Structure formats: C-alpha cells, structure tokens
Amino acid sequence: MKTLLTAAALAALATTATAHYGMIIPSDNMVSQEDGRSIDLTLSFSHPFEGIGMVLERPEAFTVTHGGKTTDLLDRLQDTQVMDHAGFAVEYRLERPGTHVFALTPKPYWEPEEDAFITHFTKTYVSAYGDDEGWDAELGLKTEIVPLSKPFALWEGNLFQGIVKLDGEPVPYAEVEVEYYNEDGSAVAPSDLMITQTIKADADGVFSYAVPTAGWWGFAALNTAAEPMQHDGEDKAHELGAVIWVHFEPWGAQ
C-alpha cells in the first residue's frame, strides 16, 4: 500500500509540475475570401499537451487590434467548456484585410502548488484575405512576446523567433516554455521532461525554436512581478507570463 500511495503522490506531482498556458485558439489563422468572413475563437487556461483543463474566470480584458485600432470584445464572450472546464468562446467577423491580433488579460490565478499567483497575457495573430500587414504588431501589454518571425504562414520545421518584453523593455535571458497543443491526444512524450520544452532568450531578449510538427504551439515567457500579491494576509509571488500561440502548417511537398 505504501508503494502504491507513493506512486500516486509522484504522479500527482508530475501532473501539477507541468506548464499552464493561457490559450486563444482560432478556428483558422489564415482566412481567405473562400473561407467566409467569420472565425470562432476559444479561450481557456490549460495544460495543452496533456489535455488537462483548468477554470478560466471571466477575463479582465479581451481585445482585437487591427490597423492600430483596438476593439474591446469582452462583452461578446460566451461561456463554454474547454477540456471539461470553464472557458469562453466568441465568433468574430473579419471586416477588413490585414493582421488581427487577439489578446487576453485574465484575472490573476492562485496556484497553491506553486504558492504563487499566475497571470498569462496571451495573444494570437490571424491574417485576413491574403494580407499580412501588421504581423509584427506590439500591443504594449504588461509583458508580451513580439514576433520576429511572421506568426502565421509557417511550415512545420520552420524556426520561430520572438523577443520577450516586460514593461516595454527586452528581458535578457528570459526563460521561455514551449508546448504543443495535443488536441487529439495522438502525441506521446517518451518522458515527462519532454512535455514542456524550456529554452532561454539571449542577452537581447530574443529566443528561437524550430517546431518538429504541424499544429498549434504555445510559447510562454515567464517573469516575476516586482510587486507581490496578497493571499490570506501574506505576500505571494506573482508570475507574469507572456504567451503567444502560433500555428505551423504541414509541409506541402508530395
């Protein structure tokens, strides 16, 4: 019995140790005229490789930025279930060509396993009608990953690069966690250590990663806020995550 309990405890620890991600997943990230003019987006807070959902409370902000103009979409969010937990969904009509940047600012999440609060400022980029203008747009979030590679129209195997910023400034040697959205559960990691890949940015805050397969990939740059948050009358660390979701296409050669 002792052995079984120990194994169960270790399994629980392994589960809780994996990375959380704020997620914005659109039904399409390169929309053509033939596709219609609307996309569906789902918002969640999850362990994307393992398919383990967590509750996402109604966010503090949800916006779309296009052509330098930001539109508030918070009131348009509809309750839904993502990975069997509370999330949100929205249908958005793409009125004009160009890049549309969707951004989520959640409420801070208390994570008892880490004894800390977590806030993931999350983005994804959608191109409309063959126009990629604005693909490198910076939104001025508290922390964000600004793409140095176009964050769509990428083949599997392509190198993705971004710069990690906090309060508008590059973060030298920032730690970046990378994880695959294993939507159908078909991917299997030979070791728990391979569920989340960890890399570091260089002295200028720039990181690089070549994805091994097509699909959605999340990049999360993690920093700690200068000011702690209160929980039960005690100061607790506040993790600030800059998250970007990027889709890579299957290689088209026959």
Tens digits of residue pLDDT in 149-160: 999 999 999 999
What are residue 48's DSSP bridge partners? none
pLDDT band at 235 (very low <50, low <70, confident <90, very high): very high
Burial of residue 190 (CB within 10 Å: 0-12, 13-18, 19+) is exposed
pLDDT band at 10 (very low <50, low <70, confident <90, very high): very low
Going by C-alpha positions, the residue among 158, 103, 160 that lies closest to residue 126 is 103
Mean pLDDT rounded to a whole number for the chain: 91
- pLDDT given for residue 18 in this prediction: 61
pLDDT band at 252 (very low <50, low <70, confident <90, very high): confident
- pLDDT given for residue 19 in this prediction: 81
Tens digits of residue pLDDT in 25-59: 999 999 998 888 899 999 999 999 998 989 899 99
Q: Would the pLDDT of 228 be above 50? A: yes
Cβ-based neighbour number of residue 3 at 10 Å = 7
Q: Is 171 helix (H, G, I), strand (E, B) or coil?
A: coil
Q: Is 227 helix (H, G, I), strand (E, B) or coil?
A: coil
pLDDT band at 8 (very low <50, low <70, confident <90, very high): very low
Going by C-alpha positions, the residue among 214, 223, 220 that lies closest to residue 242 is 220
For the chain, the structural domain boundaries read 20-249
The torsion angles phi and psi of 157, rounded to 5 degrees, stand at 95, -15
On whether the CB atoms of residues 175 and 210 are closer than 8 A, the answer is no
Q: Is 185 left (phi over 0), alpha (psi -120 to 50) or beta?
A: left
Select the more confidently predicted residue: 37 or 215: 215
- pLDDT given for residue 11 in this prediction: 37
Q: Would the pLDDT of 1 be above 50? A: no
Predicted TM-score (pTM) of this structure: 0.91
CATH for 20-249, options being 2.60.40.1930, 3.30.1330.60, 3.30.70.1250, 3.50.50.60: 2.60.40.1930
Q: Would the pLDDT of 17 be above 70? A: no
pLDDT band at 14 (very low <50, low <70, confident <90, very high): very low
| Structure-block tokens of residue 37 | 């003019």
Residue type, 101: V
Tens digits of residue pLDDT in 105-118: 999 999 898 999 99
Going by C-alpha positions, the residue among 39, 135, 139, 152 that lies closest to residue 95 is 39
